[in-house]
Amino acid sequence: MRKGYVQVYTGNGKGKTTAALGLAFRAAGAGLKVFIAQFIKGERCSEHLALDRFGEAITYRRYGRGLIRGIPAEEDIAGAREGMREATDAVRSGSYDVVILDEVNVAVFLGLIGVEEVLGLIRGKPASVELVLTGRNAHDAVTEEADLVTEMREIKHYYEKGVKARRGIEK
């Protein structure tokens, strides 16, 4: 790739991580190297089993204990900071064509990492790296810096009828 852009997937609707993973799969299929940093996703699920099948084409790491209810614990903050350090290293290393920070917008919203860190990553990325940021509540400054912003808007969802997350579909 000659020019990499900054993409943001945000909003309260389903599909932000799914869109980013679809992009990762497409990139890997085209021979590009992908790094995925997943914030606030402690539990292994079906997407991780799929990612494991890509071998060296897609590297992914999970940071933090998982879903945060209430005030974040020190472990949550430490995990997010470690994730930001490793994602920054991946962006600057020259080893990856695409870097995805999954749920980073939520990590910023919860105060686990500062918006200035994310902005610094965006502004300091090599021109050839595609950077993808996902999660609800994207900070206005992040969407201003991005080249592409997609907002997923929930119109209707079957969880309102009591349907739990299903293996292979939502988890």
Residue 93 lies in a domain: yes
Overall size of the chain counted in residues: 171
Residue 98 main-chain phi, psi, to 5 deg: -130, 130
What digits encode the pLDDT tens for the residues 128-164? 999 999 999 999 999 999 999 999 998 898 888 888 8
Coil/strand/helix, residue 102: strand
Rounded to two decimals, the pTM is 0.92
Domain that holds residue 115: 6-138+149-161
Which of the four pLDDT bands, split at 50, 70 and 90, describes residue 87? very high
**The predicted structure's pLDDT at residue 1:** 63
Task: Provide the number of structural domains found in the chain.
Answer: 1
Tens-digit pLDDT profile for residues 19-62: 999 999 999 999 999 999 999 877 777 888 888 888 899 999 99
Residue 38 class from Cβ within 10 Å (0-12 exposed, 13-18 middle, 19+ buried)? buried
Work out the percent of the chain whose per-residue pLDDT is above 70: 99
Residues 135, 9: Cα–Cα separation, whole Å? 6
Q: Report the distance separating Cα 59 and Cα 105, nearest Å.
A: 20
Note the pLDDT of residue 112. Answer: 95
Read off the CATH number of the domain in which 16 is found: 3.40.50.300
Whether 119 is covered by a domain: the verdict is yes
Residue 130 lies in a domain: yes
CA dist., res. 79 & res. 40, Å (int): 8
- Residue 167 resides in a domain: no
* Residue keyed to tokens 């933090």: 64
Query: Would you say residue 168 lies in a domain?
Result: no
Residue position matching structure tokens 């350090």: 85
Indicate whether 71 belongs to any domain: yes
In the chain, the amino acid numbered 105 is: N
